[in-house]
Amino acid sequence: MVMDSADKAIVNRLQQGFPICDSPFRRVAEELGLTESDLLARVQAMLDEGVLSRFGPMYHAEQMGGALTLAALKVPEPRFDEVAEIVNAFPEVAHNYARNHSLNMWFVLATENPEQISAVIGQIEAATGLTVYNMPKISEYYVGLQLEA
Amino acid sequence: MIEAVDQHLISAVQAGLPIAARPYAVIGERLGLSEQEVIERLARLRAQGLIKRWGVVVKHRQLGYRANAMIVMDVPDDRVGDVGALLSQQACVNLCYQRPRQGEVWPYNLYCMIHGKSREVVLEQWAELRHACALTAYGYEVLFSRRCFKQRGALYSLRAESSKSAQSVTGQAQPGQAVFEMHSG
């Protein structure tokens, strides 16, 4: 889909939050100089077209009782696809990226509780024979707008 | 411990907010709550920090962001908070975290993500950022993603009356969806 300037303004505005009030779309539409019905139609179209994959709250994993971490592996290149398959088979692995470094596989683990992080890391080490480098966040610095459309 | 009503509310908006003029009234109808009660409860969850952010999940590739760099820096521990705070305010920085070093293997303690339209653009942005934020004294590496093998959000469904407050349900999210902010890319 071709996004026009109004669509881009909507994406940029919505990344900065959404009002919790009785007519939230009307309030955002007024800020952007659109009508409420135009805004609703455009948001729906961007969801239908896949520009936006979701519109709703992001929960705080740790405050919900869950745990997250970023972890990395040094995978010998000939074993890369085999190890990727093993790692991706773990349901706790949320994202997995190949990156250009000797630490060449980077994945995010999401578990029900903090204790399970070390358990899953142990299982991945046993299944791959490789050391998992665990890099849980110490601090997060808040970023407002994530991606400018 | 999250109240049972709030747990139902969190589950009800898990998949996303209804695209309707009165979205909180729609949710309330599903749960047998008034629109006002939904608004008050969601506002409280946000104030408490359980809802971290209320917004959209953008598929960055759909917006033309094809290069994804994880930039890692070795910043003295007594400076890392200031540098992280400064970097997170820069327009091109998408995420910024402090993480532990791993001895000799990995001396880096500050991470930021830059999504750009191309690798060249990202490297230019990073070069400008290093000078603008006075980072030139610090060691760094730029790790571009070569492949994304798996990208889904962790969806959490909540069990009422349980000692554990959250239970992960896996494999239900669409590619590119992230219910929690936990991007590695």
Total number of domains in chain A = 2
In angstroms, rounded to a whole number, what is the distance separating the alpha carbons of residues A84 and A88? Answer: 6
Token pair for residue B140?
Answer: 């760094």
Indicate whether A73 and A41 sit together in one domain: no
Radius of gyration of chain A (CA): 20
pLDDT digits (tens, 9 = 90+) for A46-74: 999 888 877 888 777 777 778 889 999 99
Token pair for residue B68?
Answer: 């994804």
Chain A CB contacts of B19 under 8 Å are 25, 40, 43-44, 47, 55
CB atoms within 10 A of CB A89: 11
pLDDT of the residue at A61: 74
Q: Give the distance from residue A47's alpha carbon to the nearest chain B alpha carbon, in angstroms.
A: 10
Q: Which of A58, A99, A135 faces B52 most closely, judged by CB atoms?
A: A58
pLDDT of the residue at B32: 95
Please check whether residue A108 lies inside any domain of the structure.
yes
In angstroms, rounded to a whole number, what is the distance separating the alpha carbons of residues A132 and A124? Answer: 8
- B132 closest CA partner among B92, B79, B81: B92
Residue with tokens 């909540």: B158
Q: Kindly list the distances between the CA atom of residue A15 and the CA atoms of A94, A144, B22, B53, B84, in Å, as whole numbers in the listed order.
A: 22, 8, 20, 9, 21
pLDDT of the residue at A149: 62
Contact A138/B100, CB-based, under 8 Å?
A: yes
The residue with greater pLDDT, B90 or A31, is: A31
Is some CB atom of chain B closer than 8 A to the CB atom of A60? yes
> What burial class does residue B120 get, using C-beta atoms within 10 Å of its C-beta: 0-12 exposed, 13-18 middle, 19+ buried?
exposed
**CATH number for the domain that contains residue A80:** 3.30.70.3460
Please check whether residue A144 lies inside any domain of the structure.
no
Which domain does A19 fall in, by range? 5-49
CA dihedral angle for residue A89, residue A90, residue A95, residue A100, rounded to 10 degrees = -70
The interface predicted TM-score of the complex, written ipTM, equals 0.72
Decide: B59 and B176 in contact? Cβ < 8 Å.
Answer: yes
Decide: B145 and A98 in contact? Cβ < 8 Å.
Answer: yes
Scan residues 11-40 of A and list those with Cβ closer than 8 Å to B. 11, 14-18, 20-26, 36, 40
Domains of chain B (ranges, CATH numbers): 4-55+151-169 (1.10.10), 60-144 (3.30.70.3460)
Token pair for residue B8?
Answer: 């139902």
Please check whether residue A99 lies inside any domain of the structure.
yes
Indicate whether A89 and A40 sit together in one domain: no
Indicate whether A20 and A71 sit together in one domain: no
Nearest CA in chain B to A111: B168
Which residues have a Cβ under 8 Å from the Cβ of B37 and sit 6 or more positions away? B28
Which residues have a Cβ under 8 Å from the Cβ of A146 and sit 6 or more positions away? A15, B58, B94, B95
Is some CB atom of chain A closer than 8 A to the CB atom of B97? yes
Please check whether residue A74 lies inside any domain of the structure.
yes
Q: Rounded to two decimals, what is the model's pTM? A: 0.70
Q: Which of A17, A22, A108 faces B184 most closely, judged by CB atoms?
A: A108
Is some CB atom of chain A closer than 8 A to the CB atom of B17? yes
Indicate whether A119 and A90 sit together in one domain: yes
Is some CB atom of chain B closer than 8 A to the CB atom of A77? no
Is some CB atom of chain B closer than 8 A to the CB atom of A66? yes
Please check whether residue A56 lies inside any domain of the structure.
no
In chain A, the DSSP E strands lie at 52-59, 67-73, 93-99, 105-111, 132-135, 139-140
Is some CB atom of chain B closer than 8 A to the CB atom of A52? yes
pLDDT of the residue at B10: 86
Indicate whether A81 and A129 sit together in one domain: yes
Mean pLDDT by 10 residues, chain B (185 residues): 84 87 96 96 90 72 79 96 93 90 94 90 94 94 83 44 30 32 34
Q: How many CA within 13 A on the CB side of residue A110?
A: 30
In angstroms, rounded to a whole number, what is the distance separating the alpha carbons of residues A109 and A121? Answer: 9
Distance of CA A133 to the CA centre of its chain: 20
Chain B CB contacts of A17 under 8 Å are 53-55
Indicate whether A128 and A78 sit together in one domain: yes
Contact B102/A135, CB-based, under 8 Å?
A: yes
Tell me the average pLDDT across A85-97.
91
User: Between A and B, how many CB-CB pairs are < 8 A?
Assistant: 270
Residue A136 has pLDDT above 90, yes or no: yes
In angstroms, rounded to a whole number, what is the distance separating the alpha carbons of residues A86 and A125? Answer: 10
In angstroms, rounded to a whole number, what is the distance separating the alpha carbons of residues B54 and B126? Answer: 29
